[in-house]
Amino acid sequence: MLTKRIEKEFKEAMKQKDEIKVSCLRMLKADLQNLAKEKKEDLKEEDTIKVIQKQIKQRKDSIEQFEKGDRADLAEKEKKEAAILETFLPKALPQEELKKIIDDVIKEVGAETKKDMGKVIKEVLAKAKGRADGKAVSQIVSGLLK
């Protein structure tokens, strides 16, 4: 399971004294534990993936802010942490496969205008199960709907 892999890599990073990886995985583990306490049950694989995706999104937002603020050193640290987190996500869907899923969902939902984007994106992300980036899905859906 993914949480066991995270724990294993955390221990290895501690042994290797990889400060960035230890720090990154420590924050990830804390978020996972908090969510498990909140839900009062063990986390499912998709819950773990959602937490990882949330942390990657936070890192990307931070990178953007640090680059605007001319703090390349901090942006670089965030980039390394995002790369570490991305190793725990399932492989992303190829663009063609993602477009096919989007087309199928648009037909299923009967979406015609941009007002239906929310329904389509929600369904696509559910079917992709952590293998598609929300921003990419949004851009494709926006291009397909009027």
Residue 11's CATH number: 1.10.1510.10
Residues 81 and 124 both lie in one domain: no
Tally helices (H) and strands (E) across the chain.
Answer: 7, 0
Do residue 70 and residue 103 come from a single domain? no
Task: Answer yes or no: is pLDDT of 4 > 80.
Answer: yes
Q: Are residues 76 and 30 in the same domain?
A: yes
Give 75-123 pLDDT, tens digit per residue. Answer: 999 999 999 999 998 887 888 888 888 888 888 888 888 888 888 888 8
Q: For the chain, how many structural domains are there in total? A: 2
Range of the domain at 126: 95-144
Tell me if the pTM is above 0.85. no
pLDDT tier at 16, thresholds 50, 70, 90 = very high
Query: Do 25 and 71 sit in the same domain of this protein?
Result: yes
**CB-CB contact of 98 with 121 (8 Å):** no
User: Using CA atoms, how far apart are residues 136 and 98, in angstroms rounded to an integer?
Assistant: 9
Residue-wise pLDDT tens digits, 40-77: 988 888 889 889 989 999 999 999 999 999 999 999 99
Residues 109, 137, single domain; the answer is: yes
